[in-house]
Chain A
Amino acid sequence: MDENILKQLWLNSCNDQQVEINPEKLILSISQKINNIEKSVRRRDRREIFIAACMILLFGWWLIIMPHLLSKIGAAIIIAGCVLVMIRLPLARRNNIKKDTASAINYHLMVSLQSVKRQIKLLDTVAWWYLLPFFAGAICFYYSFPVSFTSKAIYTITVAILYGYIYYINKREITKVLKPLEQNISKLLHELSEPESYN
């Protein structure tokens, strides 16, 4: 079989399938789809800001009215954590270079690789910018109340388990999803690139 026959075979390979297009329906459906995606992104951003703002207001109020120094420290740490999350998440999204699917394949892969690496870094450091401030704040805040040692111990263990679980699912996302994805993209990029141009 020569190249031309192979090409002809390929070019006729989907002739047993027909794509039927209903223009009005297609345009409407795509517009709705894009709108829904944009709406859900906006909703997610608003929800995150709303929750963080509510927590800032609540703990801000407690920061003022609580007499105990430890509870003031706890509330202040939680407020700082909320501010950090409100800054960190939108910043991480904004810094993510837009993946233009109309760009050359190797460029698209490079951008995708950078994006995955950023996600890995974000989740890898979740203990410092997300878990630790809230954990420390919650513990300080609770310890300021006049409760028994047992209840403090139970509270500490419960909160530690909860935050430990959040830490675990983030790590799991890295090892199960993001790292294999990073490896796949790197491999593909390596296969496509010229030997001297890719390290």
Chain B
Amino acid sequence: MDEDLKLLFLKIIENNRQKILRICQAYARNKEDQKDLYQEVVLNIWKSLPSFRQEAMINTWIYRISLNICMRFSIKSKKENRANFAIEGISILDESRDLQINIETNEKINQLYACIAKLDDAEKSLVLLFLEDLSHRAISDITGITENHVAVKLSRIKKKLFNCINN
């Protein structure tokens, strides 16, 4: 891989680290899964980079890779051996929040993740893209389904999500 692509790769990873982290977190059962998924997404970004040409579509591209990897993880046997998957140079660190200020927010976030976890994989992928504040058009590009269908699906999923959160 040439130097320009390496720089582009690092820039993409740098600019999208939290975005990838959120998606991985939604599909992971624990911190170990999250780390494995994150590394696998990073590896696949590297692999797909030579065929990536449109800077403007970078968001779509990142979401596609992240969701395809996370859904693959979810579909495959949970017993799959992922031990060989260590990539060095990237680490996810937990930072302690100010508990007094954030205790309520933390609870809400945990509740949100718990409700997302109750959705099936297809619903989860759509709702995550909605929560990422993407337009129906962008969601349609990422998932490959029409905007109308995205709108219909999302309205049902949002209802489900809000019901779960409010109960």
What is the interface of chain A, defined by CB distance below 8 A to chain B? Answer: 1, 3, 6-7, 9-31, 33-34, 100-109, 112, 177, 180-181, 184-185, 188, 191-194
Contacts and interface: CB of A to CB of B under 8 A. Distances in A.
A16 B106 CA distance: 10
Given A13-B112, A101-B64, A194-B149, 14 more contacts: A6-B165, A7-B130, A15-B18, A19-B38, A22-B89, A27-B10, A34-B47, A103-B144, A104-B143, A104-B144, A109-B71, A180-B77, A188-B71, A192-B143
Contact of B133 (A1, A7, A17, A108): A7
Interface string B91-107: 11111110000000100
Nearest to A107: B144
Contact of B142 (A104, A181, A191): A104
6 contacts: A10-B132, A19-B18, A19-B93, A33-B87, A102-B52, A103-B68
Residue of A15, A17, A23 with most chain B CB atoms under a 10 A cut-off:
A17
Interface in B8-53: 9-10, 13-14, 17-18, 21-22, 25, 38, 42-44, 46-48, 51-52
Contact of A177 (B77, B87, B91): B77
Contacts of B72: 112
A29 B89 contact: yes
Q: Do most interface residues of chain B lie in helix, strand or loop, or is the interface mixed?
A: helix
B131 interface: yes
A18 B22 CA distance: 11
A3 B112 CA distance: 12
Nearest to A194: B149
Nearest to A4: B133
Q: Most B CB atoms within 10 A — which of A24, A25, A100, A105?
A: A105
A30 B46 contact: yes
A143 to B, nearest CB: 42
Nearest first, the 8 A-B pairs at minimum CB distance are A104-B144, A26-B89, A25-B89, A191-B122, A106-B144, A10-B131, A29-B88, A19-B17
Nearest to A19: B17
Nearest to A191: B122
B58 to A, nearest CB: 11
Given A14-B22, A16-B96, A33-B87, A185 B75 contact: yes
Contacts of B130: 7
B93 A20 contact: yes
B83 interface: no
B165 A1 contact: yes
Given A26-B90, A29-B87, A104 B112 contact: no
Contacts of A180: 77
